[in-house]
Amino acid sequence: MLSRVLSAAVLGIDAYMVRVEADVRNGIPNFSTVGLPQGAVREGKERVTTAIRNSGFELPPSRVTINLAPADIRKDGTSFDLPIAIGILASTGQVSRRHLNEYALAGELGLDGSLRGVRGALPLAAGIQRVGVRGLIVPRGNVSEAAVVSGIEVRGARNLREVVAFLNGKGELPLASPDGDEEGGPVPEEEQGPDLADVKGQAHVKRALEVAAAGGHNLLMVGPPGSGKTMLARRIPGILPKLSLDEAIETSKVHSVAGMLTTDHPLVRSRPFRAPHHTISDAGLIGGGSHPRPGEVSLAHNGVLFLDELPEFHRHVLDSMRQPLVEHALTISRAGMSLTYPARFMFVAAMNPCPCGYLGDARRACSCAPNAVRRYVSRISGPLLDRIDIHVEVPALSEQELAGRGGEESSAIVRDRVAQARERQIQRCTGRQVVVNAHLSPRGVVAFCSLDSRGENLLRSAVERLGLSARAYHAVLRISRTIADLEGSDAIRSLHVAEAIHYRSLDRSSRVATG
């Protein structure tokens, strides 16, 4: 007898519907699964058959055929265990078919029939809600994550017997209530991150951080060890505007696919801050692998990706970021499949000016030869440096500055100014797929970044003197637009242009070669 059960699978960070067709009939005992099942799905037959028997249900010797439709897309993961088991039980008359078209099912089965959590419950729920299915049945461990999506029933089960009882009308599964936070809701104190007021001095660096956060610009800090580069970088998420509900759900989808959401925190409510070690591989940074997973650039979506000791990263790993820095998305192609992950993040990096770290330090002499300095900096390719809008030097603090007390602005105060500047950008770019100035296209730069005669002369002089590339030229215009937005000015004045040019310190400094 043939039965059909609804399920879903994740492709990238979005889900598509899968119909699990189960046919059980007399014949030589055999269990076959078709529809491009991959390793974990093929192995599921052992989990399913054992779980059915250990749950007290009958599985007579027969020929079992499972089809996962659509059959031309690869299926992977353990989430098909539960719908396959229910399909077999429905085909043998042990489960009523009444609700099989109303609820989608996903879950991994233990050999005793218990249900274990699966990756991607949030995008599964979102995909099911999009096509109008009434509800989703998942393991209890996935309920809080799936319940973030409103508009569908989310029910959690502990084992196969509970699911069968519910479908047969002989038991109830608890109905979860939507758990999505309201837009702009408070972020718990433990998730707010460190405060910018903890950082002593470095007023010009804090200003650069504020400009970068307001316009979504990429930022590079150059300075000796202990000058506070990492400390400053870790406070950038605290000065970014709070995540909207749509941003939180989109970010949570990526973390759900990566298996990083927990029952206590089913929704990412604060902006991600990812700081991978310099030994990371290109697959770890960009994503991919034999079983593709989001990389650090996608886990930092709507947040900050921080690379400390930038020249210590392998050059080919760094250069792999050039495409997502421009496209704000990443496509991973494998045989028979292509996955797209979002990667709209603020790139922040830090580096020493030389191998020993003390080039230009007034307190300690540099011990590096000129050739060693050039080799050190040349580990970062020119095209990658060109994609970093703001360069700022972070000098070591004096004893007097370190001993200073009070007078430092908190992250909340800076965040308010940043939020106001971003609101101006949103209103200006209404109808365009642009949120921040850093993402303005060349056509958008022409439309919104016009200069007066003094500003044009200043920028023209900087291009001739510094040899700025076309990308750097547009970066200066976008930074100027952001500085004007922070001041609430519709016009970009020469003072704004001068500050933007100042943020191209690697172009100005004769100490640092761009390779």
Q: For residue 505, report the phi and psi dihedrals to the nearest 5 degrees.
A: -65, -30
Looking at the chain, the domain(s) classified CATH 3.40.50.300 span: 197-508
**Is there a cis peptide before residue 186, judged by omega within 30 degrees of 0?**
no
Structure-token pair, residue 213: 């956060």
Looking at the chain, the domain(s) classified CATH 3.30.230.10 span: 2-176
What is the identity of the amino acid at 362? A
Structure-token pair, residue 207: 């200003």
* Torsion of Cα atoms, 117 then 123 then 129 then 135, to 10°: 0
What does DSSP say about strands 175-176 and 153-157: parallel, antiparallel, or unpaired? antiparallel
Query: Residue 298 in contact with residue 342, Cβ under 8 Å?
Result: yes
What is the identity of the amino acid at 254? V
Domain 2-176, CATH: 3.30.230.10
10 Å CB burial of residue 132 (0-12, 13-18, 19+) is exposed
Cα 264 to the center of its chain, rounded Å: 19
Query: What is this structure's pTM?
Result: 0.89
Contacts of 337 (CB under 8 A, 6+ apart): 11, 73, 74, 292
Which own/partner pairs from 412-419 qualify as long-range (CB within 8 Å, at least 24 positions apart)? 414/196, 414/206, 414/209, 414/210, 414/213, 414/239, 415/238, 415/239, 415/240, 415/241, 417/210, 417/214, 417/486, 418/210, 418/213, 418/214, 418/239, 418/240, 418/241, 418/486, 419/241
What is the identity of the amino acid at 139? P
Q: For residue 116, report the phi and psi dihedrals to the nearest 5 degrees.
A: -115, 150
Q: For residue 235, report the phi and psi dihedrals to the nearest 5 degrees.
A: -100, 0
Q: Which helix (H) or strand (E) holds 351?
A: strand 346-351
197-508: which CATH number, 3.40.50.300, 1.25.40.10, 3.30.70.260, 3.40.30.10? Answer: 3.40.50.300
Q: What is the pLDDT along the chain (515 residues), one digit of tens a residue?
A: 899 999 999 988 999 999 999 999 988 999 999 998 988 999 999 999 999 999 999 998 899 999 999 998 889 889 999 999 999 999 999 999 988 999 999 999 999 999 999 999 999 999 999 999 999 999 999 999 999 999 999 999 999 999 999 999 999 999 987 654 444 444 554 456 799 999 888 899 999 999 999 999 999 999 999 899 999 999 999 999 999 999 999 999 999 999 999 888 889 999 999 999 999 999 999 998 777 889 999 999 999 999 999 999 999 999 999 999 999 999 888 766 788 999 999 999 999 999 999 998 888 899 999 999 999 988 999 889 989 999 999 998 877 777 776 668 999 999 999 999 999 999 998 877 778 999 998 899 999 999 999 999 999 998 888 888 888 899 999 999 999 999 999 999 999 999 999 998 776 554 344 33
> In residues, how long is the chain?
515
Q: For residue 305, report the phi and psi dihedrals to the nearest 5 degrees.
A: -110, 115
Q: Which residues of 444-473 are buried (b: 16+ CB within 10 A; e: fewer)?
A: bbeebbebeeebeebbeebbeebebeeebe
